[in-house]
Amino acid sequence: MRIDKLKKIVWEANLRLYQSGLVILTWGNVSGFHREEGLVAIKPSGVAYEKLKPEDIVLVDLEGNVVGGYLNPSSDTPIHLELYRAFPRIAGIAHTHSPFATAFAQAEREIPCLGTTHADAFRTPVPVTRTLSQEEVRLDYEQNTGKSIVERFKNMDPLLTPGVLVARHGPFTWGLTPEEAVTNSLILEKVAEMAWRTLCLKPDVLPLEDYLVDKHHRRMHGPGAYYGQRRRQPDE
């Protein structure tokens, strides 16, 4: 993939995030990673979505050096870089302050898997990070936020649970592409809303049984997945 194509994809993904209603004003961002080149394309800091153009997308290397573009990259860039370094299979990240997911993050409460809709996309409850210490915030707030996400995913597969709640802050999602990261943000917000409504109706509801979680996740993901369409040969 050419770098200019990646910038266009990231621009389109940011617009989709905005048009979906998951973000307002300049809140949130999407990035994409070109692993062969070692470059990340990311939304510039503080630029309104409705004014964003493909040429505004900023390119940085994995050390955070700006190597393309004339604007400052998102202030969340160090978080994105930490995730790209730690999760070698992802190539897109999205961040929002969507209301229901952010409410769980502010409450420092994971989103429990209460139904099959959640299990279709997230193999586990959506985890929440620990709160950063005062020293971590002072020394390098964004980088330490990224490290806290990586720490939370120790012994977890980030592609089976492609999202996290940063305590007192908001959600991050990821995927194999920037578009997939945005899709996962949409799903995360919806399952957070469903969980909140379910807990209002039945505060003592139990998590979904493991066998149902496994069934619904496997039918959507992995080598045995059968949800959706596959390309058939002409003689089939």
Catalytic residues: 120, 227
CA–CA separation, 30 vs 94, rounded Å?
4
CA-wise closest residue to 94 among 180, 219, 158: 180
Whole-Å CA distances, 43 to 37, 53, 83, 89? 18, 10, 16, 21
Tokens 């996962």 -> residue:
184
Amino acid at 64: G
Specify the length of the chain in residues.
236
CA-wise closest residue to 62 among 73, 49, 47: 73
The encoded tokens of residue 24 equal 């307002």
The encoded tokens of residue 155 equal 């012994």
C-beta of residue 217 within 8 angstroms of C-beta of residue 208: no
Sequence-distant (≥ 6) Cβ neighbours of residue 11 within 8 angstroms: 52, 53, 54, 56, 57
